[in-house]
Structure 1
Amino acid sequence: MSAQVEKDPADWAVLGRVSGLFGVRGWIKVFSHTSPKENILDHPAWFLLRDGQWQEYKLRQGKVHGKGIVASLEAVEDRDQAAALNGAEIAIPRDQLPVIPADEYYWCDLEGKRVVNLEGTELGRVDYLFETGANDVMVVKGDCQRLLPFVAQVIKEVDLDGDLITVDWDPDF
């Protein structure tokens, strides 16, 4: 583990979180937001959010285990040290993400954006996204929670710089 790192929250891409302990030798369970889930293991260093600060941990070893991911981090030698990481978000510096085409988006870039329909009615903000077999779904929280399919028929414009996603969606639905 190295020193704490100070960066603006916009400089980080959250890839997952520590979701539990695995064994007695300091291994952790990881809930991965990457697709496929094992892509989180492609990053040799993870930054974990602890006490409001990002701390770097080198990935010693990791693997798919059942439906999840387990990992061993340098400087985490026992179950007690691993327990101190439980619930921590796992991120990398945003500039380490691969460049993607202009019409594709990282989920972390969409989270928190305002969502309005074509008539200008504010529906809320993107809380999170999840994957289904057919398409991704955007969870929008405002006066109520709405589940919007992330498909071209619904998503009309994404303006990351303007903090806005325009959708073709009836606010009563």
Structure 2
Amino acid sequence: MGKIGKTYGILGWMKIFSFTENQEKIFDYKPWFILKEKKMEKIQPKAWKNYKNNFIFCVKNISDASEAKKLTNLNIFINRNILPKLPHDEYYWNDIISCNVFNTQKKYLGKVINLIRTQYNDIIVIEYLSKKKYKKIIIPFIDQKIIQNVNIKTKTIIVNWNENEQ
């Protein structure tokens, strides 16, 4: 759902990077969990506010920068069952991670490993094995023009893309 950034001030406030479509919505989904020392740990945001086109927040039971700094760069997770149900043809970005990607000629291009949000259009990052080395392809996520079909049940994506386009 998001990622904890660097500390802000001496009272334990931290920057936050929200991966939700409406970035402020991250504060509606609770509880939050972080993966700390290979264990999921629950954290409770106490307060948050807008700050320079981003957000800062503080966590219950953390009141100084040295404690807050231990959370820097940790990802924020939530229980999936608290997300709203989507209509039939819609999906969450997380649903397409690990999807197998094929072009319209049925050639396997690789597996989705990441998504990148940009100002103009989102991008899927695909990884594939070539000559015993992992390589990456980035493809703009432009619905109907490049992304032809996304099937979450079969974990497949069909794209109008040739290897030579990268």
The answer, yes or no, to whether TM exceeds 0.5 is yes
Q: How many residues of Structure 1 are paired with residues of Structure 2 in the alignment?
A: 159
Once residues 154 and 126 of structure 1 are traced to their aligned partners in structure 2, the CA distance between those partners, rounded to angstroms, is 15
Residue aligning to 1:9: none
Please, what TM-score do these two structures have when normalized by structure 2? 0.86
Residue aligning to 1:152: 144
Residue aligning to 2:99: 113
Amino acid at match of 2:106: G
Tell whether the 8 Å contact from 1:138 to 1:150 is kept in structure 2 after alignment.
no
Tell whether the 8 Å contact from 1:47 to 1:54 is kept in structure 2 after alignment.
yes
Residue aligning to 1:139: 125
Superposed displacement of residue 160, structure 1: 1.9
* Paired-residue identity, %: 28
Superposed displacement of residue 134, structure 1: 4.0
Report runs of 4+ in structure 1 exceeding 6 Å deviation: none
Tell whether the 8 Å contact from 1:47 to 1:90 is kept in structure 2 after alignment.
yes
Residue aligning to 2:154: 162
Q: What do you get for the CA RMSD once the two structures are aligned?
A: 1.7
Deviation string 1:124-173 (CA, Å, 9 cap, x unpaired) is 22232233444332222333322222312222222223222121211221
Moved more, 97-106 or 135-144: 135-144
Is 1:21 matched up with 2:10?
Answer: no
Deviation string 1:83-138 (CA, Å, 9 cap, x unpaired) is 11111110110001111122222111112222111222121222322334443322
The gaps in structure 2 that reach 5 residues or longer are 129-134
Moved more, 113-122 or 143-152: 143-152
* Matched residue SS, 1:172: helix
The gaps in structure 1 that reach 5 residues or longer are 1-14
The structure having more radius of gyration, on CA atoms, is 2
